[in-house]
Amino acid sequence: MSKGKKKPSLAVVGATGAVGTVMLSILSERKDVWGEIRLIASARSAGKKLVCRGEELTVVALSPEAFDGIDVAMFDVPDEISAKWAPIAVSRGAIVVDNSGAFRMDPKVPLVVPEVNPKAAKKRPKGIISNPNCTTMSMIVAMGALHKKFELKELVVASYQAASGTGQPGIDGLRDQISKIAGSNAGEATSDVRKFIKDTSPFPAPLALNVIPWAGSLSEAGYTSEELKVRNESRKILGMPKLKVSATCVRVPVLTTHSLAVHATFKNVVTRKAAQRILEKAAGVILLDDPENKKFPTPNDVVGTDPTWVGRVRQSLDDKKSIDLFLCGDNLRKGAALNTAQIGELLAVELTK
Amino acid sequence: MSKGKKKPSLAVVGATGAVGTVMLSILSERKDVWGEIRLIASARSAGKKLVCRGEELTVVALSPEAFDGIDVAMFDVPDEISAKWAPIAVSRGAIVVDNSGAFRMDPKVPLVVPEVNPKAAKKRPKGIISNPNCTTMSMIVAMGALHKKFELKELVVASYQAASGTGQPGIDGLRDQISKIAGSNAGEATSDVRKFIKDTSPFPAPLALNVIPWAGSLSEAGYTSEELKVRNESRKILGMPKLKVSATCVRVPVLTTHSLAVHATFKNVVTRKAAQRILEKAAGVILLDDPENKKFPTPNDVVGTDPTWVGRVRQSLDDKKSIDLFLCGDNLRKGAALNTAQIGELLAVELTK
């Protein structure tokens, strides 16, 4: 592993995928902390040429040797690929930052959001750091800032999740449904779109002109895997294993950017102004909360941006220690590639000390 | 007022509007409890012919005399028209069932949902009965049934409200936006629809491929009028003036049928099975809750039907007295015309006793 002044080397595993593509543009936009950047993908994509930091790079096939000389490896691949290959990368000397679900709840793997728990990245007995699920990420930067000041007790969350949370098939499926509906009389009297679309999307019901209370797979006690990720990952990132969290995850006909309605209860009184002051100053958060002028975030305003946008901050009328708010975050940027890049930057600083 | 065996007479005020139109078809579908049905609208619509119960009826202009001989008058008109004309109808001998917001919070006017508080309809010192707001209505039949068994303590609600909640301009606006987007490249990489649509809809942001955390007007402490209706009307219908209620109301790109994610806390333990058993038997409720087979309600399944559909029932993992659920109700039927018709039927029974 290179120490001292030399810039560390980076591998991007899954460089040709949806998140990998966003990662290459994020690496090109941000402060350049990396020496060599090596692009790794499946054998099928090997030899492909991609541009990063203005340079053309040739994709190499995933193999143990592909990690030789690499200091940090960012994985944007399915769970089973990460589960197999992250330990191999570690055995070749790399620190892995993994964006899959394979290691997130492993007690020996830290789950890191640099604005919330950067120190957790330092203790990584397996040489692996996990990146949270995009729905948890949509709220955790803002909730972490409020927690530091007011001490969280409970979160009740309802999500408005974008189609791209299921990757490119979700985006294609929604766009396809919308073209079909626009060319038909669907919803003339009702919103009965079923008869107009033969659905090939990854969703369990039509998504155009509809909402679907389902994301992920069936898990414990009727909750979906996505709903339990919101609970379990929030607890781990905040270091609060007993935090009460209830989530209902709902897919909405938006292409990219997840939104959440959050009802948060704290140990201390939280006025609207006090919450707004914390959110205004919080790193990675933009407060857009001017209801007099109908200013609040919507996915359409937020898509393509890095921060978590927060609006509609209200102190509950029935509990001075509770607030309601609405927030939006781009699920492909901070929700995936950006946070991975930020964790990588923490490691780059550590490695060049 | 006609007593005895004679069927009571009914006036439909606002017969040519969006809810009035649904009302005429509901009156044609349900058990025929009415003698004369008189259609009343603005002078502009007088003389228009509409069909109800298979008969052609001529619309008469709104005037004090239009209520002569009428036992029950159903009002589906804006707040200010109801505020002025409901007392005039009462002075002419009619009992008014009003679907506007004009009298809902008046302590001398009962707010009635026949499945929940039918007896409240009997005490009407002003001769007026109010019909709840459509968002409250979407959940109150189901929550009322659960409350009877488990005793409600707190409701946290996030809504997914349809465009038709703002009437015909909302429906037209959303349909227009969807056609424009389908013919463009909007959302090719992002969901930036703003540049493709010149918005003439009643919404404060684009609604196609977006969600908007705003419904109604700005009210108290940053809450919207719609959010406070959910709180205040739920309290009044359930007869619980201190019930804790927090709501965040969000408009979604659905034409008709409101959905709500509800986190409800009770005085007593509520298992998933126990909640399901109550909902299965509750009048006006359909339980569609089979996550193993991905069965849960969506607006697209529910539109055009009368009941409240409930699914995704889960006991909170962190509190045995809390449940999470997702429900859908057609905002133009039970949310407006149907409940008004049901209140009218209670009165018809009373008047023919």
ipTM of the assembly?
A: 0.93
Dist CA A278 CA A262 (whole Å): 16
**Most A CBs within 10 Å, among B266, B300, B301, B333, to test the A interface:** B300
For chain B, say whether A184 makes contact (Cβ under 8 Å).
no
- Reported for A194-199, long-range contacts at CB under 8 A and 24+ positions apart, including other chains, are A194/B300, A199/A173
Q: How far is B288 from chain A (nearest CA, A)?
A: 12
Q: Cβ of A276 under 8 Å from any chain B Cβ? A: no
B181 CB neighbours in chain A (<8 A) are: 178, 182
Q: Which member of B147, B249, B258, B328 is catalytic?
A: B258
Question: Exposure string (b/e) for A64-73, b if CB count within 10 Å is 16 or more?
Answer: eebbebbbbb
- List Cβ neighbours of B55 (8 Å cut-off, separation of 6 or more): none
**pLDDT score at A19:** 85
- DSSP collapsed to 3 states, chain B: CCCCCCCCCEEEECCCCHHHHHHHHHHHHCCCCCCCEEEEECHHHCCCEEEECCEEEECEECCHHHHCCCCEEEECCCHHHHHHHHHHHHHCCCEEEECCCCCCCCCCCCECCCCCCHHHHHCCCCCEEECCCHHHHHHHHHHHHHHHHHCEEEEEEEEEECHHHHCHHHHHHHHHHHHHHHCCCCCCCCCCCHHHCCCCCCCCCCCCCCCECCCCCECHHHCEHHHHHHHHHHHHHHCCCCCEEEEECCECCCCCCEEEEEEEEECCCCCHHHHHHHHHHCCCEEECCEHHHCECCCHHHHCCCCCEEEEEEEECCCCCCEEEEEEEECCCHHHHHHHHHHHHHHHHHHHCC
Contacts of A219 in chain B (CB under 8 A): none
- What residue in A sits closest to B313 (Cα-Cα)? A222
pLDDT at A144: 98
Over 60: is that where the pLDDT of A159 sits? Answer: yes
Note the pLDDT of residue A1: 47
pLDDT of residue A112 exceeding 50: yes
Backbone angles phi, psi at A285, to 5 degrees: -125, 140
- B219 to chain A, minimum CA–CA distance in Å? 10
Q: What are the C-alpha distances in Å from B48 to residues A42, A190, B19, B45, B61?
A: 70, 25, 17, 6, 10
Q: Do A182 and B187 touch (CB under 8 A)?
A: no
Q: Which residues of chain A from 101 to 130 reach within 8 Å of chain B, CB to CB?
A: none
Q: Residue A149 burial by CB count (10 A; 0-12/13-18/19+): exposed, middle or buried?
A: middle
Contact B222 A312 (CB under 8 A): yes
Could you read off the pLDDT of A282-305 as tens digits, one per residue? 999 999 999 999 999 999 999 989
Give the span between the Cα atoms of A262 and B343, in whole angstroms. Answer: 36
Please report residues of B whose CB lies closer than 8 A to that of A291: 214, 218, 222, 224
As a whole number of Å, the CA-based R_g of chain B is 21
Please tell me whether residue A168 adopts helix, strand or coil conformation. Answer: helix
Least reliable range by pLDDT among A197-206, A268-277, B191-200, B306-315: B191-200
Q: How far is A106 from chain B (nearest CA, A)?
A: 20
Tokens of A201: 């999307």
Mean of the per-residue pLDDT values of chain A: 93
Which residue in the list A52, A134, A249, A328 is annotated as catalytic? A134
Q: Report how far Cα B56 is from the mean position of its chain's Cα atoms.
A: 27
pLDDT tens for A208-232 read 999 999 999 999 999 999 999 999 9
CA distance B14 to chain A (A): 19
Contact of A221 with chain B, judged by CB distance below 8 Å, is answered with yes
Q: Which pTM value belongs to this model?
A: 0.94
- Closest chain A residue to B289 measured between Cα atoms? A222
Cα separation, A292 vs A315, in Å, equals 16
Task: Reduce the DSSP state of residue A324 to 3 states and report it.
Answer: strand
Q: What is the Cα–Cα distance from A230 to A108, expressed in whole angstroms? A: 20
Residue located via tokens 């015309």: B337
Residue numbers in B near A311 (CB within 8 A): 213
A274 and chain B: CB distance < 8 Å anywhere?
Answer: no
For A160, name the nearest residue in chain B, comparing CA atoms only: B211
Instruction: State how far the Cα of B206 lies from the Cα of A336, in Å rounded to an integer.
Output: 26
Q: Tell me the C-alpha distance between A330 and A186, whole Å.
A: 30
- The CA–CA distances, whole Å, from B189 to A275, A332, B303 equal 34, 11, 32
Between the CA of residue A8 and those of A12, A32, A82, A98, A347, what are the distances in Å?
A: 13, 11, 22, 18, 9
Q: How far is A81 from chain B (nearest CA, A)?
A: 27
Instruction: Tell me A111's DSSP state.
Output: B
For A188, left (φ over 0), alpha (ψ -120 to 50), or beta? alpha
pLDDT at B1: 47
So what's the pLDDT on residue B197? Answer: 66
User: What share of chain A has pLDDT > 90, as a percent?
Assistant: 84
Segments in chain B below pLDDT 50: 1-3, 189
A275, A107 contact by CB (below 8 A) = no
Residue A102, number of CB atoms within 10 A of its CB: 22
**For residues A99 and A111, what is the distance between their CA atoms, to the nearest angstrom?**
10
* A314 in B contact zone (CB under 8 Å): yes
Instruction: Report the percent of chain A where pLDDT is more than 70.
Output: 93
Which residues in A lie closer than 8 A to residue B275 (C-beta atoms)? none
A259's enclosing H/E stretch is strand A258-266
The H-or-E segment that residue A352 falls in is: none
Distance CA B318, CA A178 (A): 39
Identify all chain B residues contacting A191, using CB atoms and an 8 Å cutoff: 162, 254-257, 299-300, 303
From A52, A147, A249, A258, active-site residue: A258
Residues in chain A: 353
Rounded Cα distance between A77 and A80, Å, is 8
How many angstroms separate the CA atoms of B157 and B261, rounded?
6
**Cβ partners under 8 Å of residue A332, min gap 6:** A18, A19, A22, A134, A164, A256
Structure tokens at B22: 């649904």
CATH number of B8-130+335-350: 3.40.50.720
Confidence tier at A17 by pLDDT (50, 70, 90): confident
Concatenated DSSP letters of A211-229: -BS--S-B-GGG-BHHHHH
- Cβ–Cβ contact B153 with A under 8 A: no
CATH of domain B134-161+210-327: 3.30.360.10
| Closest residue on chain B to A316 (Cα) | B246
Instruction: Tell whether B191 lies on the interface with A, counting CB pairs under 8 A.
Output: yes
CA distances in angstroms from A344 to A72, A81, A94, A112, A296, listed in the order given: 7, 20, 12, 11, 32
Task: Point out which residues pair with A37 in neighbouring strands.
Answer: A10
User: Which residue in chain A has the smallest CA separation from B221?
Assistant: A314
The closest alpha carbon to B95, from B86, B106, B83, B84, belongs to: B86
Q: How far apart are CA A59 and CA A42, in angstroms?
A: 9
Ranges of each domain in chain B: 8-130+335-350, 134-161+210-327
B134 is catalytic: yes
CB contact under 8 A, A191 and B257: yes
Residue to test with chain B: of A177, A248, A330, most B Cβ within 10 A: A248
| Set of chain B residues whose Cβ sits within 8 Å of the Cβ of A326 | 213, 248, 250
Among A157-166, A175-184, B212-221, the least confident range: A175-184
* Range of weakest confidence among A196-200, A317-321, B41-45, B176-180: A196-200
Which pLDDT score, from 0 to 100, does residue B2 have? 46
